[in-house]
Amino acid sequence: MVKPGRIIALLLALLPALAQPAAAGEFSVEEQKLVADIRQKMDQTTQLLIYAYENEEKMDLAEMQRVLKGFSDLADWFEKKIPDRTYERRTGSFCVGSASFAWKYWHYTELYYKYKGAEDGKYVGAPRTLKGLKDRQKDLLEGHFWVFLKCRIHLEQIPTQLEDEALAPKITLKSIALIRRESLKLIDLIQKNKQNTDKLIDNQIIFHSEKLFQNYYSIYNMKIGEGSLFCEALVDMPLFVWKDYVKRHGPSSKTEQLRDDLYHIGFDFMIKQYYKSVTLCDNYVKKYKEKRP
């Protein structure tokens, strides 16, 4: 029986030679500070979210409002301090609004407890039942973890984006099929080890997902219409779901470990989004083939 790691290695050998990641150009002082500030504010948002989630039922309304002010200040920072929708290199613009989901999550939580049981003075749009609150919380927490993942992917790419685009080797649709197969195997391995802190598994996933990620701009440069966005998930999600979610928030985390139920809200949603992207990528690749027989 061929081991999963050996299968992945064989698939990698069939892919075109990968360009080595470009060396980052010099960052200005302002660029360095902005990226560092974004990461710091993300960490602060996560710590506040952990506190809020784990202490919701213990807080009085005054404490809830104090926490809400913290989320509001963080959301304002992400809206006002990051250059908005310029999508320029190193600006962090894909991280605009990244704390909005966390703020909305606690905004509706505070509203529910503030008006719970009141016959009048209800706030329009406030959850009316505990089930309504929990459903809304889950939706907003899924959105929060998703936008934070996308922000972290962006921060990883921006230093050498222009160089990596230029150096990316051309690949074929046959290569896409191989990348798809390897990506699915990695995601399956990640799901089986989402609670596993084994160093050998960690090394295996990091090694192969980083190799896979080097195809990112090769897919980007194929210009498969809107399909490029979904096909890119084949190569960025295995690496970042593992590195920036499982390792950051899972059982092995030393600083940002999430309670198990909260951890699974984010993880399960990311896996759902991954498989949705695979299906959409398949559809766009099929249309791409039909236009270029």
pLDDT digits (tens, 9 = 90+) for 122-162: 666 788 889 999 999 999 999 999 999 998 888 887 767 77
Output the six-digit token pair for 151. 């922000």
**Per-residue model confidence (pLDDT) at position 13:** 40
Average of per-residue pLDDT across 242-257: 92
Q: Which of 179, 155, 130 is nearest to 15 (CA)?
A: 179
DSSP structural state of residue 168: P
Average of per-residue pLDDT across 96-100: 87
Cα angle 61, 62, 64; round to 5: 60
* Higher-scoring residue by pLDDT: 85, 223: 223
Give the residue extent of every domain in the chain. Answer: 29-160, 168-291
C-alpha separations of 242 from 139, 140, 187 in Å: 22, 21, 9
Percent of the chain with pLDDT over 70: 82
DSSP structural state of residue 246: I
Sign of the C-alpha dihedral, residues 109, 110, 116, 120?
negative
Output the six-digit token pair for 264. 């699974």
Q: Which of 233, 236, 256, 232 is nearest to 246 (CA)?
A: 256
